[in-house]
Amino acid sequence: MTYLIMKLYMAYAVALDNKGRFVKIANLGYKLGQKVTDVILLEDRSTSPRKNIIKQLTLFAAIAASFLIVAVSIWQLNFVTFGHINLKINPEVSIAVSRTRRVLELEGLNPDGVELIEGYKFKGLSQTKVTDDLVDMAIERGYLSDGGEISVSIASENLKWRKKTAKILGEDLQKHLVDMDVSVVLNTSYEEIDDFEKGESATIIIEIPINKGSITNPDDGDSLYDDGDSDYDDDGDSDYNDNGDSGYNDNGDSDYDDGDSFYNDDGDSLYDDGDSDYDDASG
Amino acid sequence: MQGSQMIVQKVYAAKKDNNAADDLILQYMGFIKSETSKFTGKICTGNEDEFSISMFAFYEAIVNYDKNRGNFIAFASTAIKNRLIDYSRKEKRHDGNISIYVASDEDSDEQNLLDTVPEDSNVLKYQDQKIAEEEILEFERQLNSFGVSLSDVADNSPKQQRTLDSCHKALRSAYENREVMDKFITTKRLPLAELTALSGVDRKTLERHRRYLVAILLAYSNGYEIIRGHLNQIFLVKRGENK
């Protein structure tokens, strides 16, 4: 680009480039009418009031959009139903939970279920707190006792979430029912098109050794730990040891060594009563 | 506090008025020299290129200053420093270059590189320079009679290529219409209505760049061969395209 020097000022010069633009350049001792090629152009970063308003509006719109995205994300994580947990003791209750496992809705699926949840304030509570409370209420009202069974179904379109939820629930119930002989059966519904058709369900056994209760699923023998995706490593936090409480020994009472044998509890042997059946006939 | 408000007022006045800008530069000449000396590590006499760069940077600071950006002097000091850094980097890149005044042949000290440059190069001979100077001064006088200064024209010149093309389209349509050119010269006003009708360019665009349009149209009105020669490609090339 060639510049024709048109006017000289103290601090700058006005030049005409050969594309027809008049520009302000640094005056490095130029002369009027001189043609130069290598110039230092003035950088005009000042903006008109109109441009300033547009800039401010753009900034405001960007902030508002960011805020909206964050708000929507938080709302989706906490207030949109991501899955359902069906708790079946005898009272049957459906629990709608968010992705972050906050309870959003409770619904009694049979008359006992409706009665069980009546007056219970669950809004904003975690799923473990609600399931624990429902189990306690079921025990109080005589629905659940030793030898009973809790059937838990977990449904969601997200397999990973479902597995994680099952694990959390299983461990929580194991801890909560440590003094009772209750078995927990976990069912997780598959709705992934890849593996199963939507609505089809499968059952999963979670083998978590507990004191008296057991958590099993009798149907397909498919372990949660065999799908190539380990649930233990995705949060970097071991779920088994974070409370420092082992499920095996916290009551000091072993299941196998309670000192009470079926065969010897009356001190009377069936075989050695000292009385022969054959001698009576001879007399 | 009052002193800093005074400076801000002067800076804002200098943004609009070249004389006010010159006054402010004169007032802060000591500061500009001191900033230059700080950078070069030598006493600033006022003849160095670095001093010219510092004055230019000070003027640039006036143009770009916003009172919400804080103290003007600190702002100007940073602007000067940044420009001097850029300049010294640029100069370093040219360190390996040979001056055109160096002898072209080591055995002969009669002929230097400048003498080997062809006649039609950008370096004008003294006579040509004088003719160009006179033409430009006359052009400026005529332009002032339209109420427009060259500094105004530089401020009013389109920055975006699309706007520049629109302005050139309007200018071409006026240049090709004798009546419009005559009306422009006699009334000393830009015939905006005719330009809009002939070129189809939005009137607001033309109004926004009125002073620029006046300057270019004046250059094509009569004489001004050196300026026109410099701008030749604007009209002659595109004229062919229109037909």
Picking from A12, A23, A35, the nearest residue to B157 by CB comes out as A23
Please report the ipTM that was assigned to this predicted complex. 0.84
CATH architecture of B2-93: Orthogonal Bundle (1.10)
For the segment A34-62, the average pLDDT, to the nearest whole number, is 82
The model's pLDDT over B184-230, given as tens digits with 9 standing for 90+, comes to 989 999 999 999 999 999 999 999 999 999 999 999 887 888 898 88
CA distance A18 to chain B (A): 5
CB-CB under 8 Å, A29 with B49: yes
**Amino acid letter, A60:** F
The answer to whether A2 contacts chain B (CB < 8 Å) is: yes
Comparing C-alpha atoms, which of A171, A138, A165, A135 is closest to residue A153?
Answer: A165
Taking the C-alpha atoms of A182, A183, A184 and A187 in order, what is their torsion angle to the nearest 10 degrees?
-150
Structure tokens at B140: 């400026």
Q: Give the C-alpha distances (Å, rounded to integers) separating B213 from B143, B154, B164, B230.
A: 11, 11, 10, 16
In chain B, CATH 1.10.1740 sits at: 2-93
Instruction: Output the pLDDT for position B95.
Output: 65
Instruction: Output the pLDDT for position B101.
Output: 54
For residue B7, pLDDT over 60 is answered with yes
Counting residues of chain A whose pLDDT is more than 90, the rounded percentage is 14
* pTM: predicted TM-score of the whole model, two decimal places: 0.54
The answer to whether B76 contacts chain A (CB < 8 Å) is: no
CA distance B64 to chain A (A): 5
CB-CB under 8 Å, A33 with B226: yes
* Interface A-B: count of C-beta contacts within 8 A: 122
* Contact list, A19 vs chain B (CB under 8 Å): 164, 233-234
pLDDT higher for B160 or B237? Answer: B160
Sorted by where each begins, the domain ranges of chain A are 3-36, 81-226
Instruction: Output the pLDDT for position A280.
Output: 47
Euclidean distance between CA atoms A105 and B75, whole angstroms: 60
For residue B240, pLDDT over 60 is answered with no
The answer to whether A161 contacts chain B (CB < 8 Å) is: no
CA distance A51 to chain B (A): 14
Euclidean distance between CA atoms B11 and B99, whole angstroms: 40
The model's pLDDT over A138-160, given as tens digits with 9 standing for 90+, comes to 888 888 888 788 888 888 888 88
The model's pLDDT over A179-219, given as tens digits with 9 standing for 90+, comes to 777 788 877 654 443 343 343 343 433 333 334 445 555 44
Find the closest chain B residue to A24 by CA distance: B154
